[in-house]
Structure 1
Amino acid sequence: MKKSCIKVLKREGEPLRRALLEMDLLDNSARIISEGEHLYLPLTEEPQESQLMNLAGEFELTEHEFEEQKGQLRFEDLLDDIPHFELVGDIALIEDDVSEPEKVADAIMKVKKNVKTVLAAMSPVEGEFRTRRFKVVAGEDRTSTTHKEYGCKYYIDLERAYFTPRLATERSRILAQISADQTVADMFAGVGPYSIMIAKKSQDIRVIAIDKNPDAVEFLRRNVELNSTSNVEAIEGDANLEAQKFAGLADHVIMNLPHNANEFLDAAVKLCAPNATIHYYDITPEDDLFDSSLKLIEEAAKKAGRTSELVDSRVVRSYAPHQLNVCIEVRVI
């Protein structure tokens, strides 16, 4: 059978395969092809441009003939439409508007043998602590799990703290920019997916991880122990206030709070050491992806008597119709 696929050098194949798995784009019903120096990774669907931008390394989007994985149960064998879902540890997340959720959940558990629970989201991300409400559709009655990502482990209760696996590749991209002797301020650290990955790179990196949600900080501290990252300082508090204690110390400031990060820009600039980089995340309309957000960052720097320069701006992923999750990286002089 002929399928869309990604052609990549064998030496770069494993990270790309993991990234495709995280985005639920790798088609496990087809056997990966090895030819010469290249691998051909079969896709479940044509990737969106934002998804392709999340894939590191050199690769080519193409087509190839694939053999079916014999004995591999497929969603097509059980359902008319392939369901969209996220995997967090051994939990699968579906939306509450899925038709026949019990049937979909049953199919997920049969095809994805590692899934022990299927949850349906009963609300959007909401409230001060950015949490969601879920109901158990199938499997074990729980909302907690341990998620593995790029060699790190994260304990998480999905109803008590926000977490998404869809930013795994983005977190890895930020990691590549950080040197062993630097200080990183993660202003909205959650359970620690940025902080812990960065801290594991080198014990000489200092990570200041802040979050206002006491449950998130509880899990963050647990994850610090789970990953042996004693160079993470887990702080429960408002980032606007905590920034006063670490003024001028950070070489990198991570602002992963889409929708509300603009409310913390003055604090982010205060955290910045000379020539520090702010990694600012936002949800923006497709007709104004970067300009308005960049202007807010420039104004905050100017207010503090500093200057700023754009390092990079990029689309991270689609968020909603005509809205995109973007990252703007600015150096504060």
Structure 2
Amino acid sequence: MTNDAGPEKIICPSLRFYKKAGEAVRRLLDEKDLIDRRGKPYSDDTFLCLPLTEDPDDETIRKIEEYVRETADRYGISPDPGAPERIVQTGPDAFEARPEELTVEKILGYSPAYEMIGDIAVIDGKDAENAAGIAEAILRVHPAIRTVLLSEGPVKGEFRTRDLRFIAGIEKTETLHKEYGCRYNIDLGKAYFTQRLSTERARILSLIRKGDFVVDMFAGVGPYSILIAKRAGPETVIANDKNPDAVRLLKQNIEENRVRNIIPLEEDAKDLGERYAGKADHVLMNLPHNACDFLDTAVTIAKPGGVIHYYAMTEEHDLFDGSVELIRKAAARQGREIEVLGKRAVRSYAPHQYNICLDVKIL
């Protein structure tokens, strides 16, 4: 695995994989801070090779292989016609050196916490003291960013909104965000959205099969539902949210992405049980602060063998066990049992607190 182009080179670990899976793999590697920014990636018609700071661990390689296989299956081709058993390859390689880039971290001397959603950057509240300085650095480094906001608190209320303060640029909360080939109209002041769950959304996508019936109980503006409807070929996606502004944007995004196998609803999620009892192959419960209040409904919706994807905020000392027990009790109330298929700490949310996901089959 070599690349001879370029007068100046760096030698570093590398990752070579089917390039149509590039966006999902890049996001995963970015989350783990594994991409070596000193080198330029290179590609051919089929493969992409990325420079890395170190070799990925076995769990990361496994996830990358899942993304590549899912993408290759969708396009109906072998991910590596010459060596199909080696869909992801690692090893040292030579990359053309990048000229030194200006970064927010270099300007400030430390790494602030912020995310970029469309042309809006949102600074985490913990960096409020220097929000103006951070905003100036972001606008300097990222010319596509037109607005910088400060998050002044956690997501709150039944409509899942957060307080945002304008810091710099153009004063607005509306933007268009692009992710995995989908386009989302977003109003951060009226409906919650985070780019930080993009890799998790890709993971869930990889679990959905053609013809599945999917119920997204807390769909928001549609980042799970629309991605699944557009890319996985499900029979139907029920996309529900109680927030009328979120549903208005959801409907707009359904039209924007030209998907027809979604039914948008504006209902209390507890009312979904009677209508969709025993129908769902997958039930999405992305309401991490209080999804536990809706577990009885989720169990009712899940068909025998259906899977609930349950999100929660948990403490470090009890990441998964307490949540598993809540699901087990909800299933038992309906005479059903469970099988835990997967446990995942999606991201760190606060000191010693994590946003987790459990994939649980309802028997």
Same fold (TM over 0.5): yes
Query: Is 1:328 aligned with 2:336?
Result: no
Query: Is 1:73 aligned with 2:102?
Result: yes
CA deviation string 1:53-80 (max 9, x = no partner): 9963387999999776337433355222
Cα distance, 1:77–1:311 mapped onto 2, change above 3 Å: closer
Residue matched to 1:145 = 175
Cα distance, 1:53–1:90 mapped onto 2, change above 3 Å: farther
For the 8 Å contact 1:121–1:132, the answer to whether it is kept is: yes
Query: Is 1:296 aligned with 2:321?
Result: no
Amino acid at match of 1:79: L
List runs of 5+ in structure 2 lacking aligned partners: 1-7, 66-86
Amino acid at match of 1:9: R
Which of 235, 239, 257 matches 2:269? 239
Cα distance, 1:48–1:320 mapped onto 2, change above 3 Å: farther
Cα distance, 1:35–1:233 mapped onto 2, change above 3 Å: closer
Which whole-Å CA distance do the structure 1 matches of 2:61 and 2:158 have between them? 30
Residue matched to 2:344 = 314
Which whole-Å CA distance do the structure 2 matches of 1:115 and 1:106 have between them? 11
Q: 1:277 aligns to what SS in structure 2? A: strand
For the 8 Å contact 1:6–1:60, the answer to whether it is kept is: no
Residue matched to 1:87 = 116
Deviates more, 1:97-106 or 1:1-10: 1-10
Deviates more, 1:178-187 or 1:81-90: 81-90
Query: Is 1:133 aligned with 2:140?
Result: no
Amino acid at match of 1:88: I
Cα distance, 1:171–1:231 mapped onto 2, change above 3 Å: same
For the 8 Å contact 1:181–1:205, the answer to whether it is kept is: yes
Cα distance, 1:136–1:69 mapped onto 2, change above 3 Å: farther
Residue matched to 2:23 = 15
Which whole-Å CA distance do the structure 2 matches of 1:53 and 1:317 have between them? 18
Residue matched to 2:38 = 30
Amino acid at match of 1:30: R
Amino acid at match of 2:26: R
Cα distance, 1:55–1:116 mapped onto 2, change above 3 Å: farther
For the 8 Å contact 2:228–2:234, the answer to whether it is kept is: no
Cα distance, 1:263–1:96 mapped onto 2, change above 3 Å: closer
Residue matched to 1:180 = 210
Cα distance, 1:29–1:172 mapped onto 2, change above 3 Å: closer
Which whole-Å CA distance do the structure 2 matches of 1:54 and 1:121 have between them? 34
Which whole-Å CA distance do the structure 2 matches of 1:217 and 1:87 have between them? 22
Which whole-Å CA distance do the structure 2 matches of 1:308 and 1:4 have between them? 48
> For 1:95-110, what aligned pairs fall within 5 Å after superposition?
95-98=124-127, 99-110=129-140
Q: 2:340 aligns to what SS in structure 1? A: strand
For the 8 Å contact 2:28–2:199, the answer to whether it is kept is: no
> For 1:111-126, what aligned pairs fall within 5 Å after superposition?
111-126=141-156
Cα deviation for residue 173 of structure 1 reads 1.0
Amino acid at match of 2:190: R
CA deviation string 1:157-201 (max 9, x = no partner): 011011111111111111111111110000111111110011002
Q: CA RMSD in A?
A: 3.2
Which whole-Å CA distance do the structure 1 matches of 2:245 and 2:255 have between them? 16
For the 8 Å contact 1:281–1:325, the answer to whether it is kept is: yes
Q: Number of paired residues?
A: 330
| TM-score (structure 1 length as normaliser) | 0.87
Amino acid at match of 1:41: P
| TM-score (structure 2 length as normaliser) | 0.80
For the 8 Å contact 1:89–1:145, the answer to whether it is kept is: yes
Q: 2:18 aligns to what SS in structure 1? A: helix
Cα distance, 1:94–1:318 mapped onto 2, change above 3 Å: same
Q: 2:322 aligns to what SS in structure 1? A: helix
Cα deviation for residue 257 of structure 1 reads 0.8
Q: 2:136 aligns to what SS in structure 1? A: helix
Residue matched to 1:56 = 64
Which whole-Å CA distance do the structure 2 matches of 1:142 and 1:315 have between them? 33
Which whole-Å CA distance do the structure 1 matches of 2:362 and 2:164 have between them? 41
Cα deviation for residue 102 of structure 1 reads 1.8
Amino acid at match of 2:238: I
Cα deviation for residue 286 of structure 1 reads 1.5
CA deviation string 1:19-57 (max 9, x = no partner): 1586494768523255998834356xx9999x9599633
Q: 1:273 aligns to what SS in structure 2? A: strand
List runs of 5+ in structure 1 lacking aligned partners: none
